[in-house]
Structure 1
Amino acid sequence: MNYERLKTFIAVAEKNSFSEAAKMLFVTQPTITSQIKSLEEELGTKLFERTTKKVEITQSAKILLKYAREIVQMNDYARKEIMEMESMTYGELGMGCSLTIGEYILPEFLKQFKEDYPLIQIQVKIANSHQVINLLKDQLIDVGLIETPIEDSQINLEPFLEDEIVLIAAPDYFTGDDVHISMEKVRQSPLIFREEGSGTRSAVNHYMKKAGLSNDDLQILMELGSTEAIKAVVESGLGVSFISKNAIKKEQKLGLLKAYSITDMALKRHFYIAHRKDHVLKSSTELFLETLQTIVKKKETSVSEQPAGNH
């Protein structure tokens, strides 16, 4: 059975739509129809019942789907091993990153990766964590780096880096030199939040709930879809916000923002690598993940070797 026809068949079966499969595979709908028809003729059976409103998978197609996935997966494994044997360190890497990772964490990793593998072409899509998962499921990217442990039966998640969320304010917003703020003071302050669906917002919602606070208990002044926009609003003195400590290194050095920890509560979370369960990782993807893990281990070793006072 033809590899491309099987990939087309799997896409139609998963999407229950010829048009959606065409979008996913970047081909025309007539091409999809032609490949499915050829596969049906080859097997001597009908694979889909088509009406004007929907596409339904037949019993024969359900049997084929299980084996088609295995055949495509074995084909991908074979291609991958051949490429590795020939030491081909070129190719393409499609990546999706949530905003905090894409803007403040990823550049360092990309610099090292491009130095090691200059012939691998990288495309990065920046979106919130839920959007990155959807890009993975639609096969528009090879791997995702996200801030929220989103549960999905089609996705594998693996933590790769610990992050701390801090409260930020303009330097003169709160009086005194204390770098700790009570949750009561947070409750009384006007808050600028990231939008629902972002990893940072999900983590903050979790800790607010843990503290017994709902959105109704907080003074949410506005929601913004950009960390840079949030920092600019906070710098103006309009309110305070929760963001990743990694996102304010420059502003702290310049004295534009001050970071606060919440009294008796550590707002810690992990960043996650995400990829599809039923897909063989491309060699370029594996090389990037190896680089990522190597840099993270170096960072962790460096932190653990620092004197206690410098943490």
Structure 2
Amino acid sequence: MNEQQLLTFIEVARRKHFRQAADALQLTQPAVSAQIRSLEEELGTTLFYRPNVKLTSSGSLFLPYALQIVDLIREAKESISENEKKPINRPMVIGTTSCLAMTVLLRLTHYFQSFRQTLPLRVLTLSADEIITALNEGQVDLGIAYKLDSLPSHIQTKTLFYDSFALIASYDHPLAKKNTYITVSDLEHIPIISFAPSTMERRMMDQIFKQYGIQLNIMIELTSVDEIKSLVAANYGAALIPTISVDSKSSSYRRIHMTKFDHSFPVQLYYPEKRYQSRTLRKLIEDISGIYTVEDGLGD
């Protein structure tokens, strides 16, 4: 049993498809099949049902062990690199939502530069549910997303800051031409471009407006905050988006100020409790709350 066999097994389990796993690993499909077959022979069991490529009960049992072994190999390599002061080539991978991606990237880049860390950094844009799946499967080291209602017991959390929803509209929109504030009850009569029901942002929005007894007049539903802002800029309607996603210097839309709309929701760090953490990753988890400060407009 070797590391490549384990990585191949994990990738096939993740994608449920031999060819897709081969493409991701930059191997041929016969090579992937041969590695899985060799691993099954060594373990004396079948790991995948064929042809639908689903984990057998033995495969499901073996998967967490495979992840742990790969983590231990990574830990050994990184410990040796740290001991010999060699640069670590493996990037730190952060999973976050589209609303938070730019802020996460900017703050983390500044953080690593502040103590001259040259660690490669990758930020993946995922839905909140996909972030938890990616953490479970070892695809990302950390997740940053709005607070989820339920989590696996082994996923730990840390609150980073609190966000809120802001109303935006094109400069040509009637709301942008008013000099008065609008109230939350006014939203019932305004065509709204909203997040799709499957998104965490929409679920939070529905909960907030349910408390206010408000039924929003939603006309268009999208999954991406950038798509929403594009339609707002084209004057298809107003939109409620997380305040952190609002560009105060935008020439395409402006923020519409509201009264009697008091609410907030936490942005949290997510990480597996028992997964191997490099020294740099441990330090980041310890320091990360300080990255998002009140001075940045992102604090509690």
Decide whether aligned partners of structure 1 residues 147 and 95 sit closer, same or farther in structure 2, where only a CA change above 3 A counts. Answer: same
Q: Distance in 2 between matches of 1:103 and 1:67?
A: 35
Q: Structure 2 length as normaliser, TM-score?
A: 0.74
Correspondence for 2:100: 101
Q: Which has the higher helix share?
A: 1
Q: What RMSD, in angstroms, separates the aligned Cα atoms of the two structures? A: 4.0
Deviation at 1:15, TM superposition (A): 5.9
Decide whether aligned partners of structure 1 residues 191 and 70 sit closer, same or farther in structure 2, where only a CA change above 3 A counts. Answer: closer
1:241 to 2:239 alignment: yes
Unaligned runs of 5+ in 2: none
Correspondence for 1:144: 143
Q: Secondary structure at the match of 2:276?
A: coil
Q: Deviations over 1:108-152 (max 9, x none)?
A: 432342453453222333344344445545544433322352645
Deviation at 1:199, TM superposition (A): 3.7
Deviation at 1:268, TM superposition (A): 0.8
Alignment length (residue pairs): 296
1:204 to 2:205 alignment: yes
CA contact 2:184–2:258 (8 Å) conserved in 1:
no
Correspondence for 2:121: 122
| Residues 204-213 or 164-173, more deviating | 164-173
Q: 1:279 aligns with which of 275, 278, 285?
A: 275
Deviation at 1:73, TM superposition (A): 3.9
Q: Deviations over 1:254-295 (max 9, x none)?
A: 7952343451x4231122223455632345544554553332
Q: Distance in 2 between matches of 1:151 and 1:113?
A: 31
1:167 to 2:167 alignment: yes
Query: Pairwise mapping of residues 247-262 of structure 1 onto structure 2 (< 5 A)?
Result: 247-251=245-249, 257-261=254-258
Q: Structure 1 length as normaliser, TM-score?
A: 0.72
| Residues 17-26 or 75-84, more deviating | 17-26
CA contact 2:105–2:123 (8 Å) conserved in 1:
no
Larger radius of gyration: 1
Counterpart residue identity of residue 222, structure 1: I
Q: Distance in 2 between matches of 1:119 and 1:101?
A: 23
CA contact 2:155–2:273 (8 Å) conserved in 1:
yes
Q: Secondary structure at the match of 2:148?
A: coil
CA contact 2:94–2:141 (8 Å) conserved in 1:
yes
Q: Percent identity?
A: 21
Q: Distance in 2 between matches of 1:33 and 1:165?
A: 49
Counterpart residue identity of residue 28, structure 2: T
Q: Deviations over 1:201-249 (max 9, x none)?
A: 2321221233334xxx331122344434544554666533212223335
Counterpart residue identity of residue 219, structure 2: L
Q: Distance in 1 between matches of 2:8 and 2:298?
A: 50
Deviation at 1:100, TM superposition (A): 1.8
